[in-house]
Amino acid sequence: MRNEPRNVGVFVEHGGRHVARFIGEREDGTLDARRLGNKFAFPNVYTQWRTYWRREMLSGIESLAKAKTANYFVEHGGEIHETEGDSADEICTFIFNLVVGGGVLEAYQWGSDEDGNVALASEITATLDQLQLLANDRELFTRHPIVKERPVSGQHVTHTPAFSQRNGKLYVFDHIDLNGSRPTKIKERAGLLGYMFSDIRAAEHDAVAYSLVRPPLENASDAIDYAKKVLGSESSVVNWTDERARSAFLEERRRVADAA
C-alpha cells in the first residue's frame, strides 16, 4: 500500500504578517484535539510539530523549511497574485480549505450543484463503475483500476484530482462543465485544474493529464475561451459529450488498467 503524503496545514506571509492554519484548529487558531479524529497514527507527535511551527513562524516562514523529518516537513508552495485586498487571514483560510480542507467547493464557496460540475462528476463516476474500471469495495480483475480523489504529490503541494490511474506512469483526470452561469467560476476552476496538472507534471515529468469537458451550449465567452486555452495547454481535453472522443478515452483507460 502506498504511503501517500498529506497536507496538514498552510503558512501565509502577506502584508508584513505571518499566519497559519492546521488540521484540528478552531477558527481562532486554538487546537481542538477532538477534530483530529483518526487522521494521525501518532497525534501527540503532530501536535508537538504544530506547536513548534506556530512558535517559530514568527521568525519567518523560510526558516521553517530547515527543520524537517521524513514524516513532517515544510515546503514553499509558491505565490498568489490578485488577492484584491484580502487580508492574510482570509488568504490563509482560502488556501487551507483548498489544499487541506474540503477542496474546491469549500474554498470557492461553490454550491454543491453549481455549474453542473457535481452532476458531470457523477456521470463520469457511473460510467467508470459500469465498465468495472473504478476501484471500490468489489473485487476487480483489472490490474490498475482508476481511483477517486487519491492525493497526488506535486512539486509544491499535494493535490487531490477527481480521478487518477497508475501503471508505472501516472494518469490524472478531472472535469469541468463550461455551461455555468457564472463566468468567474469557470475561469477559477479552469485555472485551478491547470495549476494542478502543471504542478503534478513538475514532480512526475511523464505524468499524463486529461480534462473531461462538457462544452458550452451557447456561444463562446471570454471565460470559456480562457478555460479552453488553459486546459488545452496543460492537459489533453476530452469532450465528454462526444461519443467518439469519450469512447477513445475509456478504451485507453481499459488498456492501461489491464496492462501488465
Q: What is the mean pLDDT of residues 247-260?
A: 92
Which of 173-187, 212-226, 238-252 holds the top average pLDDT? 238-252
Share of the chain above pLDDT 90, in %: 38
Residue 109 lies in a domain: no
Residue 40 lies in a domain: yes
pLDDT of residue 108: 57
pLDDT of residue 193: 93
Residue 3 lies in a domain: no
Q: Mark whether 146 and 168 lie in a shared domain.
A: yes
pLDDT of residue 102: 67
Mean of pLDDT over the chain: 85
Q: Mark whether 119 and 140 lie in a shared domain.
A: yes
Q: What is the mean pLDDT of residues 91-120?
A: 71
Last residue of a domain, one of 49, 75, 101: 101
Q: Mark whether 125 and 243 lie in a shared domain.
A: yes
Question: Residue 248 maps to which CATH number?
Answer: 3.40.1350.10
Residue 65 lies in a domain: yes
Residue 107 lies in a domain: no
Q: Mark whether 137 and 222 lie in a shared domain.
A: yes
Q: For residue range 161-189, what is the model confidence (pLDDT) as tens digits? A: 999 999 999 999 999 998 876 777 888 88
Domain that holds residue 54: 9-101
Q: Mark whether 134 and 211 lie in a shared domain.
A: yes
Q: For residue range 108-139, what is the model confidence (pLDDT) as tens digits? A: 555 544 557 888 888 999 999 888 888 875 55
Q: Mark whether 74 and 122 lie in a shared domain.
A: no
Q: Mark whether 126 and 218 lie in a shared domain.
A: yes
Last residue of a domain, one of 79, 101, 123: 101
Last residue of a domain, one of 42, 73, 101: 101
Q: Name the residue among 150, 24, 158 with its Cα closest to residue 98.
A: 158
Q: Mark whether 143 and 180 lie in a shared domain.
A: yes
0.85 exceeded by pTM: no
pLDDT of residue 245: 96
Q: Mark whether 228 and 126 lie in a shared domain.
A: yes
pLDDT tops 60 at residue 1: no
- Please count the structural domains in the chain: 2
pLDDT of residue 67: 75
